[in-house]
């Protein structure tokens, strides 16, 4: 049984009104013209989840750190919460930009490694197959 969310639709099913295949629009990093999907952080099997996790932890850590520093500085509660919220948002955005930049480099590096491996496999296949022998003309 496929995992589903609280609305009863499969987890990977397109959402009505969302950009992409559901409305026929072109999303960023999606398939274009029926070809293969373009390499992107969003299409990578691990990158998207790790970027989401990093953003969440950064927001919480930024909020907690700024709240603690403000509390130690004896800032009024209203100001402390506003500063903590701003700190959480800033940490969220900084970690998001950093994580995406790092994963872009990792995705490109992984693609280069796969390309090199395929080239080596093709070279090994060519070396393993003997070249065709030209036919000798029959002597009369």
DSSP reduced 3-state for 10: strand
Please state the domain count of the chain.
Answer: 1
The mean pLDDT value of the chain amounts to 81
Q: Which helix (H) or strand (E) holds 105?
A: helix 77-128
The pTM (predicted TM-score) of the whole model is 0.60
In a domain? residue 78: yes
Would 17 be classed as within a structural domain?
A: no
Task: Give the bridge partners for 4, in sequence order.
Answer: 10
**Would you place residue 128 in the very low, low, confident or very high pLDDT band (cuts 50, 70, 90)?**
confident
Domain-embedded: residue 19: no
Residue 29 resides in a domain: no
Domain of 93, in residue numbers:
47-125
The SS3 assignment for 4 reads strand
Q: Is residue 39 part of a domain?
A: no
On whether residue 81 sits in a domain, the answer given is: yes
pLDDT at 18 over 60: no
Query: Is there a domain that residue 21 lies in?
Result: no
Give a yes or no: residue 85 inside a domain.
yes
Is 87 in contact with 71 (CB distance < 8 Å)?
Answer: no
Between 43 and 63, the higher pLDDT residue: 63
Q: Looking at the predicted structure, is the pLDDT value of residue 11 above 70?
A: no
């Amino acid at each position: 049984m496929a995992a589903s969310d609280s609305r009863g639709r499969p987890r990977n099913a397109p959402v009505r009104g969302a950009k992409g295949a559901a409305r026929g629009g072109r999303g960023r990093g999606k398939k274009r013209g029926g070809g293969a999907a373009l390499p992107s952080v969003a299409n990578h099997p691990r990158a998207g989840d790790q970027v989401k996790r990093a953003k969440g932890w950064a927001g919480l850590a930024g909020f907690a750190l700024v709240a603690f520093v403000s509390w130690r500085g004896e800032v009024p509660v209203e100001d402390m919460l506003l500063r903590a919220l701003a700190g959480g948002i800033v940490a969220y955005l900084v970690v998001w930009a950093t994580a995406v930049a790092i994963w872009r480099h990792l995705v490109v590096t992984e693609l280069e490694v796969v390309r090199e491996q395929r080239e080596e496999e093709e070279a090994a296949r060519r070396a393993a197959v003997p070249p065709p022998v030209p036919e000798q003309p029959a002597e009369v």
